[in-house]
Amino acid sequence: VSLRAAGRPPPREPAQSSPPRPLTVLHTRSPRLSMSTSSRPRATPLAAAGGSGAAPSLLAADPGHRDSVILAARGAMTNCLGETHLDLVVPGLRLAAKGQVRDVYESGEHLVLVTTDRQSAFDRVLASIPFKGQVLNETSLWWFNRTSHITPNAVVSSPDRNVTIAKRCSVFPVEFVVRGFVTGSTDTSLWTVYNKGVRNYCGNAIPDGMVKNQKLPANILTPTTKAADHDVPITPDEIVKSGLMSKDDFDEARSKALSLFEYGQKVALENGVILVDTKYEFGKTADGTVVLIDEVHTPDSSRYWIANSYEERFKSGLEPENVDKEFLRLWFKNNCNPYEDKVLPEAPEELVSELAWRYIFLFETITNTKFEIPETQEPIHERISRNVAQALRNL
């Protein structure tokens, strides 16, 4: 959930690239199992094929590890975090917002962000994906820590794998969407509008002659703001003139967003994936500091492609290998009317466990750490309630 509801060839080197010390709450005690593409790949029905003569896909580079994650995901199907009710069991908490994935609670000067396992599309929940909430929360924490040399953030602590406690701040009603490629399929995606003839988008001049999935000459910012229940593209001038942000605040947030994306692209490419596009949100603390909030470079907020097959597939006119949830959306679209049917069919276990694997694959690939699957079958909500209550007592 956006906190507004509560109160993507190699990129340029960033000006500062030395990350600070690792964040200790991520339980990175074991090295990541090798994802070397020299490992003998095993074809999977859902991993994108690299084409004849293509380099083996990272998604299939370590079949043994993939199998073990999928087995764990299948075993955790009945212990997903679909709903939270912390306000009923933790004194002093008030539910402030319930989004597609995150539930946000208020406690004095702090917000408690609980990332659930809910998987949404078509403006509704499609399924619960084992370990998804933990992956998203830990991915953001890793990036928050690694980007603190670029911008401060609102993170106070992480008392649980699925929870982040953050400082309350005034949230700017603008999403800072940064893009490195001409791609996408939605009404507001860059390829959709470019293919219709638009050459100036959100204040950015885009050259003629570009094709789908081509890298832009330089990364661009395409801000959006909310109108009813959908995002609306907006230019920087419109943001300032409408009073959504002051020019100084916007300029600062824009600079930070572009620097964050450039650094994110560098780190991602070093680990075999391309950060294609993403979105950031910012807020302002009581002392006037512009801080990064919400989530950073997660699979939900970002588009990622496999790097070693991009050039060949692009030259062949093929879609890039992606690490996303599109296959699950397509299954629902082909098996029901997800917009109108009151009751949806249950997502196949094979697809749910495959998506769990893709979330974990991306986390391990980028962070070079082994994702720690919970060893206990304690109900997630009970664990979260206990850890949050303890953390709030210690604030």
Query: Where do the domains of the chain lie, and which CATH numbers do they carry?
Result: 62-169+350-394 (3.30.200.20)
With H, G, I as helix, E, B as strand and everything else as coil, classify residue 158.
Answer: strand
Residue type, 177: V
Round to whole Å and give the CA distance between 96 and 104. 6
For tokens 């229940």, the residue is 229
pLDDT computed for residue 62 by the predictor: 87
pLDDT at 230 over 80: no
pLDDT of residue 24: 32
pLDDT (tens digit, 9 = 90+) per residue, 117-153? 999 988 889 999 999 999 999 999 999 999 999 999 9
pLDDT at residue 109 is higher than 90? yes
CA–CA dist 72, 82 (Å, integer): 18
* pLDDT, tens digit (0-9, with 9 covering 90-100), for 39-67: 333 333 343 333 334 455 777 778 899 99
Q: Minimal CA–CA distance to 203: which of 240, 230, 173, 229? A: 240
CA separation (Å) from 257 to 92, 176, 252, 285? Answer: 34, 7, 9, 18
Radius of gyration of the chain (CA): 21
Average pLDDT over residues 20-24: 36
Per-residue pLDDT tens over the stretch 333-379: 899 999 899 999 999 999 999 999 999 999 999 999 999 998 878 89
Supply the DSSP string of 48-59, one letter for each residue: PP--TTPPPPGG
Give the whole-angstrom CA distance, residue 234 versus residue 306: 30
pLDDT digits (tens, 9 = 90+) for 297-323: 999 999 999 999 999 999 999 999 999
DSSP code of 77?
A: G
| Inter-residue contact 272 to 365 (CB < 8 Å) | yes
Over the stretch 189-222, which tens digit does the pLDDT of each residue have? 999 999 999 999 999 999 999 999 999 999 999 9
Per-residue pLDDT at 55: 53
pTM equals 0.84
The tally of CA atoms less than 13 A away on the side-chain side of residue 231 is: 18
